[in-house]
Amino acid sequence: MAKYKLTWKDLTWRDFKIYLFALFKAFIPKQKISDLNQLENFIQTKSAWVTQVTLYGYLKTRMGTRYVLHFENDEFMKSVNTAKWNIYADALQDLTFYTFSYLYVNFDYRDTDKAKDIFFNILDDETSNRMPLDIIDKTKKIFTERFQNLDWKSYCNSLPFNSSALSLYKWSPIAENLKELDRKIVLNSAILKWDIIKKEFKERIKF
């Protein structure tokens, strides 16, 4: 089997299309979320968007004009790919729990087991995009533990995206001494992006 080699061009098409075309999507009328299939699509696409916009935005800001050159380095690309999938895994968890907690509180929706079904479906589908199986297995275990202890009545109103914001800080392939200087900015950038998603969800949800 031929070894897959990560390159700048590969990321440009596979990953940056969400990053580059995000502004255009703002002008497209958004469909209401009225069933579980639409909710699953919302969770997947918005988690991917937040992951890529925050990760690549931070890397670009920190690296400046050297940004493109770093993407020719295979070892760096491996680190970026690892970061991307781990941050995405946490983003999926946070958004899944947030949306179902919001439905629980505001729409009297009690079938919270559907949260697990949707989450596992998304992860299983990501195997076709080469999400590492070890990250998928680890994420399913963490999700199950969080699911069992979650307070659905309060989660959506109690810093619901802290885990993924901290994941961005943890996994970004930047030297630790530099990340320490950026900690507040990095965490705030993630929370601000999630605020956009929260606002959109509240406008579109119609269960």
Q: Give 43-67 pLDDT, tens digit per residue.
A: 999 999 999 999 999 998 888 766 6
Phi, psi dihedrals of residue 19, rounded to the nearest 5°: -65, -45
Q: Write the pLDDT tens digit of every residue in 120-137.
A: 999 999 999 999 999 999
Give residue 5's pLDDT.
40
Which whole number is the average pLDDT over 27-48?
A: 90
Q: Write the pLDDT tens digit of every residue in 70-110.
A: 666 778 889 999 999 999 999 999 999 999 999 999 999 99
Which has the closest alpha carbon to 153: 207, 104, 108, 110? 104
Residue 33 forms beta bridges with which residues? 205
CA distance 145 to 153: 17
Residue 17 forms beta bridges with which residues? none
Give residue 16's pLDDT.
56
Output the CA angle 174-177-180, nearest 5 degrees: 90
Which residues, in sequence order, are CB contacts of 147 under 8 Å at separation 6+? 97, 115, 116
Torsional sign, CA 54, 59, 65, 68: negative
Which has the closest alpha carbon to 101: 92, 91, 111, 89? 111
pTM of the model: 0.85
Share of the chain above pLDDT 70, in %: 82
Which residues, in sequence order, are CB contacts of 113 under 8 Å at separation 6+? none
N-to-C CA span, the chain: 46
Which has the closest alpha carbon to 122: 95, 94, 92? 92
DSSP 51-87: HHHHHHHHHHHHHGGGHHHHTT-HHHHHHHHHHHHHH
Give residue 3's pLDDT.
36
CA distance 32 to 202: 10
Give residue 64's pLDDT.
73
142 three-state secondary structure: helix
Give residue 128's pLDDT.
94
